Structure 1
């Protein structure tokens, strides 16, 4: 079958909304810089093979590069790659296939699958066109979509509410980071492009399921850990009304203690089977030192002393002494910083209240 007769699709919106399984035939190094959550990287060429073909293309042209590609991927290596695609297609018969730009690699993959009796559509324009479609979708949506920001001091449980709302997009979840110095994950944050893709996909899903409804986002700065929110969404957020959760100081400390001490300790011990105790202590101290410039020397020294004492005695008092440094850093640093930033945006505050009142208001104002 000629390449022109092989099936293809440019129905990007439905591919993304439906989460159609995708075979990503790009080299691993390409996929690692950005992919889609429902794509599986089953490369046509390894990183080294792609590198060799790329050099050949630059020095000798397309014809010689194609010939080298066939020389590098043949016999048992070709058979293994076709078998991997075929196995994937058996488990996901609606799958489509893409390469970087919808060109030779995806067409060749299609042809090889066709030779073993499998008709697999390729995505026209490949990953590049999918990505451009998503970026344009975000830009267009941010021009028309109504948002509201869920705000509140640290420990007010903003993310808990976000996760209960059907019309929300969880920015911190997409970033795999809780937004503060102590919110770093045990594993890695996603690649920047993967973070962006996830936010756009989540936005698509909410808009498709609840057209015309206001979408709720957590009040975030442009950066969440080492990832940054795309500019169109940042601009839209800066113009959106704010809903502020209010919770007593003690209740906030209780929540922070549970999340950043008790649960983090348990997670760290499970993640680091041999040196979990030291890893937990290192996490606490490092998280504090990341904000020492803003804290200042005296406050950092005070909080570090409380923290080191809590680490030393945590198994004697069921971690209770950790409340001391949590209270200090919250009262001396996080609360004043939040109030200063909130004061600059107070004209955008549409509502204040406790959890129940905020959730009720959000439902009523949809």
Structure 2
């Protein structure tokens, strides 16, 4: 077969674009890093074809699939034509296993003069590549782990360190979740485990050095589980504790959680999750504070009665190479960077 490539052959090519021809639902659940979605079948169409494949026959399923594809073929062709002729990209198509969907669109486009490539083995082989190499790319990493109570701004410190050219690993960003029972507020759905692992893998793969800043986390972030080889490496890393006033922490949390009316309603609903840890009466009081706009009062109460005790219970026995009391964020950053300089 013509123009079939393996992921390792093209993964570092700058002009290469991966095109996921699976359904939007499959694409959203997990895909190759940086891939765009040009679906051969939409979600309901894929479901129907799959049903026919199982309950009827392969021939009937293929016939129905061709019927669906034909309706959108001009649109599909235009999207590929733009990538190939206008943007001058090396287009690599893939589906779940390198089967019917990617093979059919690959052959059709090739016959029409658009010289696309097909990824051997599809998304399954991409996952195999990650699984086989993940542990390896992590072995030489030395983590500097930032700890501190909720609201000290650990994520903000990481982002600033990255802006200054340091390697970071934002696990909460990769998970799209902050880790607590209220951790999804204003963020949307938590990423899938596969998407999380994809984000982390490529972040570590493309690092500039072996010293990486990361935030101290529980092993679980929302529905995500941090792989053992990363977690164990974090536990061996140099640990920094950042302390800050409850007022500063409140300011950061309010800015992070209170975005608009939707986020306020979402936060109030999410507070139901902590009734197993706090009394019904207390949670109802916090909900009323938020409804009335008393965000700071609710924030302070939640930190003193829920977040701080929970956090200290999980992280209070760590051995820290440095304890920093934040008076000035620039000075705090300088103190964090000092640990990095001592490790070079």
Same fold (TM > 0.5): yes
Does 2:288 correspond to 1:308? yes
- After TM superposition, the structure 1 = structure 2 runs for residues 1-366 of structure 1, keeping only pairs within 5 Å, are 4=1, 6-12=2-8, 15=11, 18=14, 20-55=16-51, 57-58=53-54, 64=59, 68=63, 71-72=66-67, 76-89=71-84, 90-91=86-87, 93-165=89-161, 166-192=166-192, 193-206=194-207, 209-210=208-209, 213-260=210-257, 264=258, 267-268=259-260, 276=261, 279-297=262-280, 299-300=282-283, 303-304=285-286, 308-309=288-289, 311-312=291-292, 314=293, 321-344=294-317, 346-347=318-319, 349-354=320-325, 355-356=332-333, 357-366=335-344
Instruction: Check conservation: 2:92, 2:117, Cα contact below 8 A.
Output: yes
TM-score scaled by structure 1? 0.78
After TM superposition, give the deviation of residue 283 of structure 1 in Å.
Answer: 3.3
In structure 2, what is the Cα distance between the partners aligned to 1:19 and 1:141? 24
Give the 3 Å change call, closer, same or farther, for CA 116–308 of structure 1 in structure 2. same
In structure 1, what is the Cα distance between the partners aligned to 2:9 and 2:160? 26
CA RMSD of aligned residues (A): 3.0
Give the 3 Å change call, closer, same or farther, for CA 336–7 of structure 1 in structure 2. same
After TM superposition, give the deviation of residue 236 of structure 1 in Å.
Answer: 3.0
In structure 2, what is the Cα distance between the partners aligned to 1:337 and 1:67? 55
In structure 2, what is the Cα distance between the partners aligned to 1:181 and 1:92? 46
Give the 3 Å change call, closer, same or farther, for CA 92–299 of structure 1 in structure 2. farther
Instruction: Check conservation: 1:97, 1:123, Cα contact below 8 A.
Output: yes
Matched residue of 1:216: which SS?
strand
Aligned residue pair count: 331
After TM superposition, give the deviation of residue 55 of structure 1 in Å.
Answer: 5.0
Gaps of 5+ in 1: 269-275, 315-320
Say which structure is richer in helix: 1
1:271 is matched with: none
In structure 2, what is the Cα distance between the partners aligned to 1:57 and 1:158? 50
After TM superposition, give the deviation of residue 56 of structure 1 in Å.
Answer: 5.3
After TM superposition, give the deviation of residue 168 of structure 1 in Å.
Answer: 0.4
**1:313-357: CA deviations, max 9, x gaps?**
x4xxxxxx432222222122222222222233x24x222224231
Instruction: Check conservation: 1:19, 1:38, Cα contact below 8 A.
Output: no
Matched residue of 2:321: which SS?
strand
Give the 3 Å change call, closer, same or farther, for CA 285–74 of structure 1 in structure 2. closer
Give the 3 Å change call, closer, same or farther, for CA 92–286 of structure 1 in structure 2. farther
Instruction: Check conservation: 1:100, 1:128, Cα contact below 8 A.
Output: yes
TM-score scaled by structure 2? 0.82
After TM superposition, give the deviation of residue 219 of structure 1 in Å.
Answer: 0.9
After TM superposition, give the deviation of residue 71 of structure 1 in Å.
Answer: 4.6
